[in-house]
Amino acid sequence: MVIRTTLEERGSITQEEIEMLERASTMPITFDEDSPELSKTELKEFCRISDENRLERNKQTVTLRLSPQALRKAKSLGKGYTSVLSRILEVALRNNDVIRHYL
């Protein structure tokens, strides 16, 4: 599967870089011993693994009640604080001692 995207000009890329990328997009793909062409079977295996990983990363929405202090601290971390809370919870749940301590 090939994923194509377009480059949006945001002022952070020069005209020379844009031209270089346009030239690169028309160049043929060159395979070598470090990067050999994959067989159809190998490509299917990559897709299967990618699909399994995507399912594992799917987030579930839950309702969680936090103390006002915990919520203030979490929000003080800034944008993306819910992702930080998720990672903290994942680490804590992998540690049986932490689980036993709070049961």
Q: For 2-24, write each residue's pLDDT tens digit.
A: 656 566 645 577 888 888 889 98
- The list of the chain residues with pLDDT below 50 reads 9
Per-residue pLDDT, 2: 61
In a domain, 47, yes or no: yes
Assigned domain for 5 exists: no
| 42 inside domain | yes
* Euclidean distance between CA atoms 23 and 17, whole angstroms: 10
Domain that holds residue 30: 15-58+65-102
How many independent structural domains does the chain possess?
A: 1
Kindly state the tokens that stand for 55.
Answer: 């399912």
**Considering the entire predicted model, what is its pTM?**
0.46
Is 84 among the domain residues?
Answer: yes
**Tokens linked to 25:** 């997009």
Whole-number mean pLDDT of the chain?
85
